[in-house]
């Protein structure tokens, strides 16, 4: 017997889809699930133009996470520091345009989290292989911290590290899975955060990779 429409619509729900992390920050469980295939197609088109690369920190260390960008501004790091650049330093061309499915999803998620009118001009694309990690940091290279940040997880699960206003605060560990979206802004905007060392695994859409899209208003 086929499952009833009721079962299809309402199960299986394992987590509250709207999980507050702090004032101004919320995890929208599964918010991007319906768009995941289109988002991955958009990602593929972007990195065909501006490929993933391991950028170097100002201290000279290559990051374990490889990155690309799309939109009017792209986040970059090199020996000169962290900043947004309208051009991809590797191609010496503007970053690829932000796919409509990216900006539409980011705006919908921001609105669902209470930040109506979010128009991202930058999308940083992070690519994690098993063993990759992102140390605790604040996102502070944007011009106006009044805008929230929208973060979309695709592929392998990860443990998000959610700290406090100072680096010394011990972070909470938040599991993030394929399709999850985190939005934060307002009083949570400068929270220290990171991603714990990625475990090995296999996701049907991405294999042994986690992608993260973070949408910002840089300028």
Residues that bind ligand MD6 (CB under 6 A): 126, 134, 139, 149, 151, 182, 193, 195, 212, 214
Return the one option of ligand MD6, Fe ion, none that residue 182 interacts with (CB less than 5 to 8 A, by type): ligand MD6
Which of 67, 180, 75 lies closest to 121, judged by CA?
75
Return the one option of Fe ion, ligand MD6, none that residue 69 interacts with (CB less than 5 to 8 A, by type): none
Q: Specify whether the backbone of 13 is left (phi greater than 0), alpha (psi in -120 to 50) or beta.
A: beta
Residue count of the chain, please give it: 219
Query: Which residues of the shown chain bind Fe ion in the complex (CB under 5 A)?
Result: 139
CB atoms within 10 A of CB 15: 12
Return the one option of Fe ion, ligand MD6, none that residue 67 interacts with (CB less than 5 to 8 A, by type): none
Peptide bond into 12 cis (omega under 30): yes
Q: Which is nearer to Fe ion, 79 or 140 (CB)?
A: 140
Q: Which is nearer to Fe ion, 35 or 139 (CB)?
A: 139
Q: Which is nearer to Fe ion, 139 or 180 (CB)?
A: 139
Q: Which is nearer to ligand MD6, 69 or 214 (CB)?
A: 214
Q: Which is nearer to Fe ion, 156 or 161 (CB)?
A: 161
Return the one option of Fe ion, ligand MD6, none that residue 149 interacts with (CB less than 5 to 8 A, by type): ligand MD6
CB of 6 to Fe ion, least distance (A): 40
Q: Which is nearer to ligand MD6, 96 or 120 (CB)?
A: 120
User: Taking a C-beta distance cutoff of 8 angstroms, is the pair 127, 153 a contact?
Assistant: no
CB of 48 to Fe ion, least distance (A): 25
Return the one option of Fe ion, ligand MD6, none that residue 159 interacts with (CB less than 5 to 8 A, by type): none
Q: 153 pairs with which residues across the strands?
A: 212
Return the one option of ligand MD6, Fe ion, none that residue 189 interacts with (CB less than 5 to 8 A, by type): none
Burial pattern 58-74, b for ≥16 Cβ within 10 A else e, equals eeeeebbbbbbbbbbbb
Q: Which residues contact 102 (CB under 8 A, 6 or more apart)?
A: 39, 42, 70, 120, 123, 213, 215
CB of 5 to ligand MD6, least distance (A): 35
Cα–Cα dist 94/72, whole Å: 8
């Amino acid at each position: 017997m086929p499952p009833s429409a009721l079962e299809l619509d309402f199960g299986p729900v394992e987590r509250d889809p709207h999980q507050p992390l702090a004032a101004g920050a919320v995890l929208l469980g599964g918010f991007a699930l319906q768009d995941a295939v289109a988002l991955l197609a958009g990602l593929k088109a972007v990195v065909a133009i501006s490929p993933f690369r391991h950028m170097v920190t100002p201290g000279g260390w290559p990051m374990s996470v490889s990155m690309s960008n799309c939109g009017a501004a792209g986040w970059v790091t090199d020996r000169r520091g962290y900043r947004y650049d309208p051009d991809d330093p590797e191609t010496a061309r503007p970053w690829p345009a932000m796919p409509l499915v990216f900006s539409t999803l980011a705006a919908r998620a921001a609105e669902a989290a209470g930040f109506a009118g979010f128009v991202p001009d930058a999308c940083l694309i992070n690519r994690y292989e098993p063993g990759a990690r992102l140390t605790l940091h604040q996102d502070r290279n944007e011009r106006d911290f009044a805008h929230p940040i929208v973060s979309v997880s695709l592929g392998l699960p990860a443990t998000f590290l959610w700290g406090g206003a100072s680096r010394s605060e011990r972070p909470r560990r938040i599991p993030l899975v394929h399709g999850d979206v985190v939005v934060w802004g307002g009083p949570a905007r400068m929270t220290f955060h990171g991603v714990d060392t990625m475990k090995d695994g296999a996701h049907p859409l991405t294999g042994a990779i986690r992608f993260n899209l973070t949408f910002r208003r840089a300028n």
